[in-house]
Amino acid sequence: MPHQDNPESDSEEVPDGHPDHSSDASSDVVELDNAEFPDYFQERNGRLFHSHVVSPYPLPVDTAEQDRANRQHIFFKHLLGANYVGPVQEVLQFTVGEQRKTLDLATGTGKWVLDMSRDFPHVKFYGLDIVPIATRTPPRNVQFEMHDIGTALRFKEGTFDFVHGRSISMAVHDYGLLLREVGRVLRPQGLFLACELAPSITCAPGYPGDPALLFPKATTFFQVLNACLEQRGIQSMGPYLLDHIRHARCFTGIQSRVYHIPVGDWDENLHRQELGREFSEILLAYANAMKETIGPEMNQYVDGLFDGLKEEVHNAQGMVLEYYTVFARKI
């Protein structure tokens, strides 16, 4: 996996045989050697984390977390009915003589990019992350690079037709700065899609009440977790996505939707029961991975919080987690 891409590898041809004259090659890109891989990880209490000194990203990057991320990718595809919402097919449509390009921020294991690269084989996909956990043998139209998305992107202005940012708010201190970079690297009328989960559970529509009273243990777990995240300078962007994208002042045609993900199999709809069962396991794996963030010095307390969350996830009725999606065009 390159730190960034090799200048010689970025001038490939588009399907009609015309060269990509919009090359964004950088001369300071180097290939990551196998011996360098351990330099990007550190172990804490039996879990593997990134060792980047600036990025606030709190989750592990080990096999268990990669499995959870891959399950979550499949889950979101089932939830949305596709790997995206919005006019993606329109902005990525094949055009003779042009190379369509897509950027995936905080790509992780790269499953979204790999899925999309099969659906849009004429598009060049770039996936950025601070750790090299995506495949080192991607298809021809995919390139993974190591990069902290909290810093300036290396690409030229107007490089991309589509920028995708799913569950990325924990990887940056300043989401507004990231939005300005997204606006810079998008071409005019290029598409940005942002997707983020809410920071805590709530009640489903039709289940009125106070979540703190109906789900006190789950509410307490996420209150404690979010307080710890805020101490690290991390704020969940889910409920604030729409406002941030509006305030960036470089987007138009902004559209948003909130999905209510069932937690547990309480829903009468069979499809949503299946979604709820799967998401329960994903949510508990996420919470378990976040125990280190709350504090290993409070193991008994943290275990108690997690056990309470697990109990309510398996038994509560009407529990949901909101999923926010916003897409917009570059002005």
Asked if residue 315 is part of any domain, the answer here is: no
Asked if residue 297 is part of any domain, the answer here is: no
Residue 274 burial by CB count (10 A; 0-12/13-18/19+): exposed, middle or buried? middle
Q: Which segments of 171-303 are extended strands (E)?
A: 186-197, 202-203, 251-262
Asked if residue 79 is part of any domain, the answer here is: yes
- CA 130, 71, 76, 312 dihedral sign is negative
First to last CA, the chain: 33
Q: How confident is the model at residue 19 (pLDDT cuts 50, 70, 90)?
A: very low
| Domain of residue 248, residue span | 7-199+234-260+320-330
Asked if residue 278 is part of any domain, the answer here is: no
User: Do the Cβ atoms of 130 and 147 come closer than 8 Å?
Assistant: yes
User: Do the Cβ atoms of 246 and 327 come closer than 8 Å?
Assistant: no
Asked if residue 41 is part of any domain, the answer here is: yes
Per DSSP, helices labelled H in 120-251 are 175-185, 211-214, 216-231, 241-247
User: Of the ranges 66-70, 180-184, 289-293, 318-322, which one carries the lowest mean pLDDT score?
Assistant: 289-293
Asked if residue 205 is part of any domain, the answer here is: no
Q: What is the mean pLDDT of the chain?
A: 91
Note the pLDDT of residue 297: 66
Whether residue 15 has pLDDT greater than 70:
no
Asked if residue 221 is part of any domain, the answer here is: no
Domain total for the chain? 1
Asked if residue 171 is part of any domain, the answer here is: yes
As a whole number, mean pLDDT of residues 155-175 equals: 97
Q: How confident is the model at residue 138 (pLDDT cuts 50, 70, 90)?
A: very high
As a whole number, mean pLDDT of residues 236-242 equals: 96
Interatomic CA distance for residues 223 and 228, integer angstroms: 9
- CATH of residue 114: 3.40.50.150
Residue 62 half-sphere exposure toward CB, CA atoms < 13 A: 13
Note the pLDDT of residue 53: 82
